[in-house]
Structure 1
Amino acid sequence: MVDPIPHLEALRRSPLAQLTDALAAGSGEAVALAEEPFLTMVSVRVEPSSAAAGRIGQVLGFELPQRCGEVAAVGHHAALWLSPDEWLVVSTAAPAALADQLAAALGADRGQVVDVSANRTTLALTGERAREVLEKGCPADLHPRAFGPGSAVTTTLARIPVLLWQTGPAEYRILPRSSFADYVARWLLDAMREWAGAQAR
């Protein structure tokens, strides 16, 4: 029997495939925007002090973060705190394999592990003007005194709910729902124009 997976992978299309050229044209030295498609995302809900949380941490290679806005990351995996008993695991590992491993770690204990990889895409906004671009439409305090590398918050950007994750001094990852990704990307391109000097098509 022929394995159907290669055929399905060939048909796979990212939420922002239609904007690939526009993202490249709208980027410059001061600020750049690109899609990082098809990252694995797994929603994890578990009692933070439970044995199941400990087993999940062993699979990931780190303890689940315990504070609002905190991110824990090692190797291919990162866990973003969403609420006292909820995390989003973002990874470059295969989605089914990671979800199965985390579900096995949860076992029969109370909680939930769900592969939500198709629910969002990831936009990488980088450059010395990246924070200024975000501040045009994000109500969160993004000043370094309040928000820095290794932080992630649920907020809005141009009135669209997003998960905003700062991965470096001038590097951000923006995770909108796939259905809103086109709007968010076009808004960002417009907000970048004064520095990048290119218009989205």
Structure 2
Amino acid sequence: MADRQGRSALERHYERGSFGAAGDDGLALVLSERRGLAMAQVNGAPLEGGPGVMGCVTEGDVSLLWTGPGQWFAVSASLDADALLAKLQERLSSTQATLSDLSHARTVLRVSGAAWRDLLAKGCPADMDAMIPGDCVASLLSHFTVIIHCVSDNSADVYVFRSFGASLWEWLQGGAAEFGYTVE
């Protein structure tokens, strides 16, 4: 049997290089796609020690992002989807939580650089300036339903439904042009 190879929703839209107007300090943004992540939705789990409202907690190689009451989004860069689900099932075996593999269903974009908050604030009603590393918010960005995870003072990951990945990518590029950006 052939190995399954995931294809990026951005495959025909992704062009590396530098674009837009560079300011006095050069290009203010870096846009990139994060590939190969295992992702799962966790519903109805009473997670003690889990993230609080708008929070993220990382335990070993799994990060849990709070997305709503009783809902978390689990992400791992080092586990594959089966290993992530097995790890979550073991941890949640005594609960009635449900798990759904979403590794194939999301495009994850990293926005980094000095102007990342300004770029996302163009289309998101959430207060980007108030976000600190570890915060996450399920919100809208332009007309896309997204999860925004503040990874550091200088970057955020944006999770969007795979079918909207190319459209959001184009929106980000259009919004980033005034700041100048690099695609890595």
TM-score range, shorter-chain basis?
0.7 to 0.9
Give yes or no for the alignment of 1:127 onto 2:113: yes
CA separation of 1:197 and 1:169: change in aligned 2, threshold 3 A: closer
Within a 5 Å distance, the mapping from 1:75-154 to structure 2 comes to 75-92=60-77, 93-107=79-93, 109-143=95-129, 146-154=130-138
1:197 Cα shift? 6.8
1:46 matched to which residue of 2? 44
Deviation at 1:18, TM superposition (A): 1.6
Q: Is the 8 A contact 1:24 1:33 kept in 2?
A: no
**Partner-residue secondary structure (3-state), 1:117:** coil
Q: 1:26–1:32: 8 Å Cα contact kept in structure 2?
A: no
- Alignment deviations for residues 65-95 of structure 1 (CA, whole Å, 9 cap, x no partner): 1x21010014422100112211100101111
- The residue that corresponds to 1:15 in the other structure is 9
Q: Equivalent residue for 1:68?
A: 53
Distance 1:15 1:188 in 2: 15
Q: 1:85 to 1:124 in 2, by over 3 A?
A: same
Spell out structure 1 runs of 4+ moving beyond 6 A. none
Q: Report the structure number with the largest CA radius of gyration.
A: 1
Q: Which has the higher contact order (CA 8 A, sep 6+)?
A: 2
Higher helix share: 1
Of stretches 105-114 and 147-156 in structure 1, the one that deviates more from structure 2 is: 105-114
Shift of 1:106: 2.5
In 2: Cα distance, 1:76 partner to 1:114 partner: 18
CA contact (8 A) 2:135 2:149 kept: yes
CA distance in 2, matches of 1:91, 1:111: 19
Farther off after superposition, 31-40 or 104-113: 104-113
Structure with more strand by fraction: 2
Helix, strand or coil for the counterpart of 1:164? strand
Give me the CA root mean square deviation: 2.1
Aligned to 1:178: 162
Structure 2: gaps (5+ residues): 21-25
1:30 equivalent to 2:16? Answer no
Q: Is the 8 Å Cα contact of residues 67 and 147 (structure 2) preserved in structure 1?
A: no
SS at match of 1:163: strand
Q: Say which is worse superposed, 72-81 or 24-33, in terms of deviation.
A: 24-33
Q: Deviations over 1:119-157 (max 9, x none)?
A: 1110000000111111111111111xx311110001111
Other structure's SS at 2:128 match: coil
Q: Deviations over 1:165-190 (max 9, x none)?
A: 11011101001100111111101100
